[in-house]
């Protein structure tokens, strides 16, 4: 046996794998994992088929195919008023998680500090630790998941290398406001801190709200790497296709790592998405599409004992259960699978010190039939 010490000794099986395996074992309605259970647009699938048969089956350019990068530039200009150079400021990635990992690996050195807001998507912290960085966690408020900017200010020092934000936010379904972004812009002014902005749910925003991209704020855009996902946007998470945008100085360093990490990503799917993206309705209508699913799910559980604030974005809904049981969220979520045949994700695993506020995350990116079955179960608990 080879004797070695783990570089990530505290990392075990993810909660997503645990709950997914339990859901399969108990034949439960699975609202735990964050992906749709309905198909992609047949038009998009046909475009992939066409690209395959047209011979786009060899390596794409390292940065991604130029026509797709050019369309991303147009989209960013149209939505956020920020012009990016498609030649030097955009890279197509193997999903947003690869973009996030590569961004961290390109800039974080031993003892660099990275501010992470908790609860946080679980890929951030292991990547930071893998490169010797130090996670500086800031807990969001209990029920509305707001940021205490004075607390953030107190964490910033000469060792702070990066701040990671995520809006629309997974797992809470909340949004950063314009005021939040202005406070962040003011806090980072005059520093060399890089902002890593996880914006994979940028188009899934509800109730006439706006997504406050870092690209909209000049003093943030100039220090930001923005990560996005075609998989999330077009219901094809298994394609693992995303992109990262940022100023050329940061993108140069990002690509130095990217070229040895994955080099380039799926060529025919880039071609397909590049054509599909020309019709803006394919992403501009996404908020309405998922808001209808959110509303359908919440109306369906209207007689349940769960309490909630309607999600403001993403395809996740937090349900609180303090009026139902005193069990921990991990124990309760497991019992829901075993006894009631419905799967969710406990929020405490993402919180600072695993704080437990009796909250579960449910994914409503499902067919109406699946949501009906879930509502029937939840109403009886």
Residues 6+ apart with CB under 8 A from 2: none
What architecture is domain 42-282? 3-Layer(aba) Sandwich (3.40)
pLDDT digits (tens, 9 = 90+) for 130-169: 999 999 999 999 889 999 999 999 999 999 999 999 999 9
Average pLDDT over every residue of 249-278: 97
Residues in the chain: 381
Rounded CA separation 140/201 (Å): 19
Does residue 69 have a pLDDT over 90?
yes
- Residue 260 reports pLDDT greater than 90: yes
Place of tokens 């349940």: 304
Can 15-40+284-378 and 42-282 be said to share one CATH topology?
no
d(C-alpha 112, C-alpha 78), whole Å:
36
- Residue tagged 């998470």 (tokens): 237
> Looking at the domain that runs over 15-40+284-378, which CATH code has it been given?
3.90.1150.10
pLDDT tens-digit readout, 81-120: 999 999 999 999 999 999 999 999 999 999 999 999 999 9
Would you say 260 and 285 are in contact if contact means Cβ atoms under 8 Å apart? no
Residue-wise pLDDT tens digits, 271-323: 999 999 999 999 999 999 999 999 999 999 999 999 999 999 999 999 999 99
- pLDDT, tens only, 333-357: 999 999 999 999 999 999 999 999 9
If you search the block for the tokens 């999903």, which residue do you land on? 95
pTM as predicted: 0.96
Measured between alpha carbons, how far is 103 from 93 in angstroms, rounded to an integer?
11
Contact 234, 272 (CB under 8 A): no
Q: Where are the domains of the chain?
A: 15-40+284-378, 42-282
- In angstroms, how far is the first alpha carbon of the chain from the final one? 49
């Amino acid at each position: 046996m080879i004797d070695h010490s783990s570089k990530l000794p505290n990392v075990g099986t993810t909660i997503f794998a645990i709950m997914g395996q339990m859901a399969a074992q108990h034949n439960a309605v699975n609202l735990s994992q964050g992906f749709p259970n309905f198909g992609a647009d047949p038009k998009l699938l046909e475009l992939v088929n066409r690209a395959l048969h047209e011979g786009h089956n060899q390596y794409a350019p390292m940065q991604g195919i130029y026509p797709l990068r050019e369309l991303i530039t147009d989209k960013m200009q149209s939505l956020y008023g920020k012009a990016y150079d498609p030649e030097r400021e955009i890279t197509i990635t193997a999903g947003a998680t690869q973009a996030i990992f590569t961004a961290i690996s390109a800039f974080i050195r031993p003892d660099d500090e990275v501010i992470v807001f908790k609860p946080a998507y679980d890929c951030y912290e292991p990547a930071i630790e893998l490169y010797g960085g130090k996670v500086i966690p800031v807990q969001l408020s209990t029920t509305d998941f707001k940021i205490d900017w004075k607390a953030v200010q107190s964490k910033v020092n000469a060792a702070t290398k990066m701040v990671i934000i995520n809006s629309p936010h997974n797992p809470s379904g909340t949004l950063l406001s314009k005021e939040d972004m202005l406070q962040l812009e003011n806090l980072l002014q005059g520093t060399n801190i890089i902002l890593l902005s996880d914006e994979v749910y940028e188009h899934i925003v509800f109730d006439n709200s706006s997504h406050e991209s870092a690209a909209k704020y000049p003093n943030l855009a100039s220090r930001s790497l923005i990560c996005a996902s075609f998989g999330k946007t077009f219901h094809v998470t298994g394609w693992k296709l995303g992109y990262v945008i940022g100023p050329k100085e940061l993108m140069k360093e990002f690509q130095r790592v990217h070229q040895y990490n994955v080099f380039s990503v799926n060529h025919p799917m880039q071609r397909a998405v590049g054509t599909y993206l020309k019709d803006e309705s394919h992403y501009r209508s996404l908020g309405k599409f998922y808001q209808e699913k959110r509303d359908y799910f919440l109306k369906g559980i209207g007689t349940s004992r769960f309490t909630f604030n309607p999600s403001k974005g993403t395809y996740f809904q937090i349900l609180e259960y303090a009026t139902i049981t005193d069990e921990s969220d991990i124990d309760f979520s497991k019992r829901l699978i075993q006894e009631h045949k419905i799967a969710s994700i406990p929020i405490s695993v993402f919180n600072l010190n695993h704080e437990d506020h009796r909250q579960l995350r449910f994914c409503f990116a499902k067919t109406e039939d699946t949501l009906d079955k879930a509502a029937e179960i939840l109403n009886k608990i």
